Amino acid sequence: MTTREIHVELLLGRQVLDSTGKAVGRIEEICAEQQGEEWVIKEYLIGYAAILERLSAWNIGIAILHLLGAHKIHGGYTVPWNQLDLTDPQKPRLHCSLDKLKSLAQNS
């Protein structure tokens, strides 16, 4: 298996496109775990809801949005590491359709 290093800090904020070229959100959080001496990416969080997760403010953010009248909060996805094509790190693309991704939706 070939491994490749990418500076993950350069991926934050990058727009992710689906297979048709439609924008689905920006990379807001990268979840990794240490395996031996290496760090391995597990998943990417994209979209507006991922910003709250990145800031560790999910519960507070949801409460504020509910106070402002939002009842269904949506705007993010969890993307498994193997479903994001980083061949061109400037233009990350999904390998799958949006309906295959776990939503970061929150309902009241």
Residue-range domain boundaries for the chain: 8-100
pLDDT tens, 43-77?
Answer: 999 986 666 665 555 556 556 666 766 555 556 88
pLDDT tens, 4-50?
Answer: 677 888 899 999 998 888 898 899 889 899 999 988 899 999 986 66
Is the pLDDT confidence value at 107 over 80? no
CATH class of 8-100: mainly beta
Q: Where are the extended beta strands (E) located within 1-108?
A: 15-17, 23-35, 38-47, 72-73, 76-80, 84-85, 93-94, 102-103, 106-107
Does the pTM exceed 0.75? no
